[in-house]
Amino acid sequence: MTQTTDFLAPARLGRLALPHHLVMAPLTRNRAEADGTPTDLMVTHYAQRASAGLIIAEGSTPNAVGQTYPDITAIHTDRHVAGWRRVTDTVRAAGGRMFLQLQHGGRVGHPATTGLTPVAPSPLALPETIFTPDGHRPAAVPREMTADDIRTTVADFAAAARRAVEAGFEGVEVHSANGMLLHQFLADNTNRRTDAYGGSAGRRVRFAGEVTEAVADAIGAERVGIRISPGSTVNGVLEEDTEGLYAALLDRLKGLDLAYLHLVRSAPEAGWYRRIRADWPGVLIGNPELTDLTTGAVAGAAREMLAAGADLVALGRPFLANPDLVERLRRGAPLNPVRDRYFMYVGGAAGYNDYPALDRQPAVPSSDSTVAREGLRVA
């Protein structure tokens, strides 16, 4: 557990020596090829942000049916591995380190995007429209996963982890947050199963546990983190007993000696945060919820997270808009504003690779502060 609030001081993550405590959080940006292969835009994007202590690359699907939106990255073919290798080689040459998030969307998917019926713990559709290559469409009712589906999906996660290491990543993050498939098994309203994967908290955490255990067996627990979002209602999930649910999940996971536990939108004042910090024996990555993206607010939130017991601090939008975020915080320099209009579904370099560094002309505050989304999502 960290003993400092100096987020610019050197840190460690298992065998990795990190130059500081700031982590780039995974951000879905829809800049991959249609088949999920990383593009030249992505090579540039991540290389620009190689000064992060650790980059956790955007959620990548372990199989075809797990794809959420168009142009999302994947890691289940040789072509995906080769594409990601270009990214990791370039980032490593620039002095950076990367983990890859493994993300299965479950019911957050659509046949218009994948050609496949989504799968989920129970046949309950996402209660909102979903973006597809044809624009927003009503969500599809997913197919309830069979025992064979569950076994196959667990194996797909393990295979994806091995591919990620082959692609040059230092490790992987299992995505069990924000209403994606693993979170759908955890949440009461998306898991109505009556078998060994539904009902009590101990049963609902089983799938997330099996996936994480299989990934750890495949590449070593020291290369594996897991991301959770206690209490989140993103993508229509609802937990009736957040405290009991995550106590059961941590009981299953904490003996694995994982690389880290990553808490989405961590609130140090929340009771569940303090309980998780007290109960988790390893590295904890805190992810503060930021409404003010100024230099002082971001620096203050990082110090607060470390003071509350986090070992590392994950930042999303600050790294998105500031490829040289670390240097800006070091100097106390102003931050670029986020141009939300270009966040997702638009493609191209605008709002992705064209944010200026300090040695270029400062960014002009954007008039796109209200999200001109074709539906902004949280991954």
- Rounded CA-CA distance 87/37 in Å is 11
What confidence tier does 372 reach under pLDDT thresholds 50, 70, 90? very low
Which is more confidently placed, 54 or 265? 54
Q: What is the average pLDDT across 50-75?
A: 98
Q: What is the average pLDDT across 196-225?
A: 98
DSSP annotation string for 11-57: EEETTEEESSSEEEPP-----S-TTS---HHHHHHHHHTTTSSEEEE
Of the listed ranges 44-58, 74-88, 254-268, the least confidently predicted one is 254-268
Q: What is the average pLDDT across 47-76?
A: 98
Q: Is the pLDDT of residue 49 over 70?
A: yes
- Rounded CA-CA distance 172/84 in Å is 13
Q: Is the pLDDT of residue 279 over 70?
A: yes
What pLDDT is stored for residue 346 in this prediction? Answer: 87
What pLDDT is stored for residue 177 in this prediction? Answer: 98
Half-sphere exposure of 183 (CA within 13 A, CB side): 29
In one letter, which amino acid is 223? R
What pLDDT is stored for residue 300 in this prediction? Answer: 96
Q: Is the pLDDT of residue 297 over 80?
A: yes
- Rounded CA-CA distance 196/330 in Å is 50
